[in-house]
A and B are shown apart, each in its own frame.
Chain A
Amino acid sequence: METITNNSALNIHNFRQDFPILSKKVNGKSHVYLDSGATAQKSKQVINAICNYYQTQNANVYRGIHQLSQEITVAYENARITVQKHLNAALPQEINFTSGSTDSISMVANLFENKYIKADDEIIISEMEHQSNIFLWQMLFEEKGAVLKVIAINEKEELFIDEYKKLTCGKTKIVDVTHISNTLGTVNPVKEIIALAHEKNIPVFIDGAQAVPHIKVNVKALEADLYCFSRNKLFGQTGVGILYGKEKWLNEMPPYIVGFSTIKTVTLGKTEYADLPLKFEAGTPHIEGGIGLAAAIDYVNEIGLELIGAYEHELLEYATTKLLAVEGLRIIGTAKEKASVISFIIEEVHPLGVGTILDKQSVAVRTGYHCTQPLMEHFGLPSTIRASLVFYNTKEEIDVLVNGIKKAIIMLK
């Protein structure tokens, strides 16, 4: 993009230059990437940190007496501290590196299956959960005879908090709610949800995959018991995620995968698990992932999540106005508190076709049900088109999107 709007809170032009892929031309045109909700692009600071790791730091962590191993162990543990500070967790050992949100959710589900859930117990999720959450708990309740309770959504695509209050009871063993819906962009009142659960001593697990890239998450202020996110959405590599857990919960959890470093001592009579956080990090970890994650967090903090949030809100409002001006277009997800994710449909035009024609115009969006099939059922829709906007996107790109949609409608109607 050569012309950049200057009246925004953020001088976006400088930041765009940090992302090498954004200057890539496709068919001679700038590539408009509006699929950061699936995976975000990586800044050169992150790419450099990863290159630097392989060029100067590569060794295994925790198990070498030599200099390189010592250095990388310190760097990897510093990465953990960077995440701890970013989330305002009380202790570094409350931060566990996982392979992503799906892995984190599996760890939590396994813990509850093993230790806490019996027949007739209840688990509360919301209607807007990512499918990974839904089927993990479904598997549980099938095996154990536990019951899945679902918080429904209102006409503005927000959670019915009054209904949620009624769902919590003595049988509820855990509440699992997404912080921000990946399909609707709805920002859920997780602080309130957690406080209400805690009144009845129910722990709460928050899926923050879509929240951490957009807003400042403070697990201490939220009082979250367990909180997870994946770093590929936070401008870092794929294959790394974070599971935050209050020390009390993590101490109770048995290792989900057992291997080197998860065990303190083994005798034929008894095996003693390692202390946190190594208890959950079997085998050689994704070291470059940890290093890159710290670089991504430093990068985002350098810009400032408040500035990012303000600019993304500006983008969201701009895109919403422009999109609603397209005839026959309807936005799915109209919550008052909304992140910069816009799902929409167009009368008489299949989302898949729109996605295909946009791709031909070098605009990347996502089509489908976004791993939230039950939510799509709620709306009676087979799929939507989703544009996710982050701080490296521009208003000019939104104009390209809107013009692309208009062209698609002409071709497909």
Chain B
Amino acid sequence: MRIEEIETEIVEEFELFGDDWEGKYEHLIDFGKHLPLIEKQYKTDDRLIKGCQSKVWLHSEFKDEKIFFTGDSDAIITKGIVALMIRVISGHTGDEIINAQLNFINKIGLIEHLSPTRSNGLASMIKQMKLDALAYKQLKSLK
């Protein structure tokens, strides 16, 4: 599935909850439970995303021209956000990830988490994922 298709799928899932914020957050928390967990040996300080009130670890691997992410967080809502981002971004090519617009964040009412004062690092998380994609793309072009 293309990134935009996954985004649409997620938006449709969240739309089912309407104005029910509780349902939305429970859904988000539930996402966290299905997060592709980062392996223990990668859960190191150098993989921590800076600028979060909660801890977020991200790890990426390059396989068959695509980039795959795993992650974790010590806060349950943030963990859900990490899982959501991984579901959308993981398993795509560097170009696809770099060019992803990620409009779904606004559409599912999570835009507030992009605000710097929230400090839960969604913006930093996206930046890190795109940087990783760019790094793999550069590496590949050097080969």
Q: Contact residues of A with B, CB < 8 Å?
A: 349-353, 356-357, 360, 367-368, 382-383, 411-412
Contacts and interface: CB of A to CB of B under 8 A. Distances in A.
B54 A352 contact: yes
A367 B22 CA distance: 20
Residue in B22, B75, B119, B120 with the greatest tally of chain A CB atoms within 10 Å:
B75
Residue in A349, A356, A368, A383 with the greatest tally of chain B CB atoms within 10 Å:
A356
Contacts of B78: 350, 352-353
A350 B54 contact: yes
Interface of A is mostly: helix
A10 B54 CA distance: 39
A352 B75 contact: yes
B26 interface: yes
Residue in A350, A351, A367, A412 with the greatest tally of chain B CB atoms within 10 Å:
A350
A29 to B, nearest CB: 12
Given A352-B54, A411-B25, 9 more contacts: A351-B53, A352-B77, A353-B75, A353-B76, A357-B77, A367-B53, A382-B53, A411-B22, A411-B29
Interface of B: 21-22, 25-26, 29, 53-55, 74-78, 118-120
Contacts of B21: 360
Nearest to A412: B76
Q: Give 3 closest A-B pairs by Cβ, nearest first.
A: A350-B75, A353-B77, A352-B53
A351 B76 CA distance: 10
13 contacts: A350-B54, A350-B77, A350-B78, A352-B53, A353-B54, A353-B75, A353-B77, A353-B78, A356-B25, A356-B120, A360-B21, A412-B29, A412-B76
A20 B120 CA distance: 31
Given A367-B53, A412-B29, A350 B119 contact: no
A383 B53 CA distance: 8
A350 B75 CA distance: 5
Contact of A368 (B22, B29, B119): B119
Contacts of A360: 21-22, 25
A412 B29 CA distance: 8
Nearest to B113: A356
A356 B55 contact: no
Contact of A350 (B26, B74, B118): B74
Contacts of B118: 356
Contacts of A412: 29, 76-77
A181 B106 CA distance: 38
Given A353-B76, A368-B119, A412-B77, A382 B55 contact: yes
B76 A350 contact: yes
B22 A352 contact: no
Contacts of B22: 360, 411
A367 B120 CA distance: 11
A411 B77 CA distance: 10
Contacts of A382: 53-55, 74
A411 B55 contact: no
A383 to B, nearest CB: 6
A351 B77 CA distance: 11
Contacts of B26: 411
Given A368-B53, A382-B55, A352 B120 contact: yes
